Amino acid sequence: MSLNDEIARRRTFAIISHPDAGKTTLTEKLLLFGGAIHIAGAVKSNKIKKTATSDWMEIEKQRGISVATSVMGFEYNNIKINILDTPGHQDFAEDTFRTLTAVDSVIIVVDIAKGVETQTRKLMEVCRMRNTPVIIFVNKLDREGQNPFDLLDELEAELQIAVRPLSWPINQGQRFKGVYNIFEEKLDLFTPNKQMVTESIAFNDIAKPELEDYIGKENAAQLREDMELINGVYNPFDKNEYLSGKLAPVFFGSALNNFGVKELLDCFIQIAPSPRPIKAEERVVQPEETQFSGFIFKIHANMDPNHRSCIAFVKICSGKFERNVNYKHIRHNKLLKFSSATAFMAQKKETVDEAFAGDIIGLPDSSSTFKIGDTLTAGEALHFKGIPSFSPEMFKYIENADPMKFKQLEKGINQLMDEGVAQLFVNQFNGRKIIGTVGQLQFEVIQYRLEHEYNAICRWEPISLYKACWIESDDKVQLENFKKRKQQFMAVDKSGRDVFLADSNYVLQMAQSDFPKIKFHFTSEF
């Protein structure tokens, strides 16, 4: 197969949802279709329950297990599908944001009863920033939930994206009969069964009286009425609108019952994008270019202190990766070759000889060669953009609790930050180090890992901060004035950029109105 054909048949995407909407269940059913697993219940993957914070070791254990399922590749109808798993626990949201930089499209799972939830909203924001094409799967139709029209309105308003149903539920809960597959003009009738693949009946004209034989008189009348409304309100599905991230097709089903999943998958492989061009600082890189390039979007550390080892996850942006060929680590300006890169086929890792644009490979990294955002190429100096850090939600001072272990602590903090475990800001006024996270769990993870991997002991001290924002301005005088006025609250991030530490929303608003020429950013990428 030619390089172009290999790339064109790849679909790399992530399934995202608020915890409990059904992401794990849907992933598992997709794997069943791909023949990648044979029984339901095989994927427990990143299913991290809302555990008490003291249970974070358990969570890390699960995270460890989930390395193999971080990326799940399988073949379906000659399409190579790569699903990137994302942690369910919101304290690891930053991981999810970064994973979204490595996908070409996204499926969002929404619970019919709960509608759009906080985590969904946040994740959608990241998709919108990157114009990532999005398909929505409304799950749990076997339960009572909202009226589907109301839900469509909610999706549109809350996720700020136009929607277009491509399947439509026939009743719900106990009375759920199935869905009308608008995309393929088929009637899919529901039989509750966790293993079975659904049977479809071609049905291109729902005006036909036979519809009543299948779903009963009342349901048939309702479906006809609903379809009339859909066709009146929504424009016909426009694939280009979807590909540009402006329109989300919506499917309905029940992942647990394996219902509506095949319809979703069959449509997905037809409309979802193959690997897309990626912006580097220097130029736009096309996936079909013959020269290899890729970037590290995730580093997964093994928590076992006896053999500290990491896997760096690389998204291949262009060309073909080959085993034992020299590639340039751009930040270190060094040639490296890899004999044991791994590919992820369903639940096992295997050594790869070659992989193509769109694929994800894992590079073993025991000596912290890589950090998030690093670029590897066949030689050209490229720097891929688009691995944002978000303003953290929680902050603490980190202090050395053992004066003899100062160096170990420094090294540990630096390496953990390179891995993207949390964000480090150094206060320019007093030189103190501040760690910013999205959740309490990350502080515990850092403390534990510093102790067990670096033999360093840290102590946390409280700091009351509302937000950290990156600042910039074309007006150098105003910028300098601001920094002088706020000198106690000025810090630098890992890359030496100016960060303002606002201790309240009020202070931030005052700063914004007093210094109109300064831009305050809430993500590190602007």
Tokens of 133: 């094409």
**19 near ligand G4P, rule: CB under 6 A:** yes
**27/400 with CB nearer ligand G4P:** 27
* Residue in 7, 12, 24, 99 binding ligand G4P, rule: CB under 6 A: 24
Cα–Cα distance measured from residue 321 to residue 112, given in angstroms and rounded to the nearest whole number: 42
Cα–Cα distance measured from residue 385 to residue 227, given in angstroms and rounded to the nearest whole number: 43
**19/64 with CB nearer ligand G4P:** 19
| Core vs surface per residue 435-447: b (16+ CB within 10 A) or e | bbbbbebbbbbbb
Residues 187-216, interacting with ligand G4P (CB under 6 A): none
Taking the CB of residue 38, how many other CB atoms lie within 10 A of it? Answer: 9
Residues 241-280, interacting with ligand G4P (CB under 6 A): 254-257
Closest distance to ligand G4P from the beta carbon of 117 (Å): 10
Closest distance to ligand G4P from the beta carbon of 88 (Å): 5
Tokens of 78: 């000659």
- Under 8 Å CB-to-CB from 79, ≥6 apart: which residues? 9, 10, 11, 269
**Contact range with ligand G4P by CB under 6 A, out of 5-13, 15-23, 416-424, 480-488:** 15-23
**Contact range with ligand G4P by CB under 6 A, out of 20-28, 78-86, 277-285, 329-337:** 20-28
Beta bridge partners, 502, equal: 467
Closest distance to ligand G4P from the beta carbon of 93 (Å): 14
**Contact range with ligand G4P by CB under 6 A, out of 21-29, 32-40, 356-364, 390-398:** 21-29
**120 near ligand G4P, rule: CB under 6 A:** no
* Residue in 6, 94, 95, 142 binding ligand G4P, rule: CB under 6 A: 142
Question: Which residue, among 509, 473, 469, has the nearest Cα to 493 in the 3D structure?
Answer: 469
Contact 284, 310 (CB under 8 A): no
* Residue in 11, 47, 164, 177 binding ligand G4P, rule: CB under 6 A: 47
* Burial (CB count <10 Å: 0-12, 13-18, 19+), residue 283: exposed
* Residue in 7, 21, 68, 211 binding ligand G4P, rule: CB under 6 A: 21
Contact 45, 396 (CB under 8 A): no
Residues 408, 341, 39, 199, CA torsion sign? positive
* Residue in 10, 80, 89, 140 binding ligand G4P, rule: CB under 6 A: 140
Residue type, 162: A
**24/415 with CB nearer ligand G4P:** 24
Closest distance to ligand G4P from the beta carbon of 169 (Å): 12
Cα–Cα distance measured from residue 240 to residue 518, given in angstroms and rounded to the nearest whole number: 37
* Residue in 22, 115, 412, 436 binding ligand G4P, rule: CB under 6 A: 22
Cα–Cα distance measured from residue 376 to residue 363, given in angstroms and rounded to the nearest whole number: 11
Residues 71-100, interacting with ligand G4P (CB under 6 A): 88
- Under 8 Å CB-to-CB from 463, ≥6 apart: which residues? 395, 396, 397, 434
**25/274 with CB nearer ligand G4P:** 25
Applying CB under 6 A, which residues contact ligand G4P? 17, 19-25, 47, 88, 139-140, 142-143, 254-257
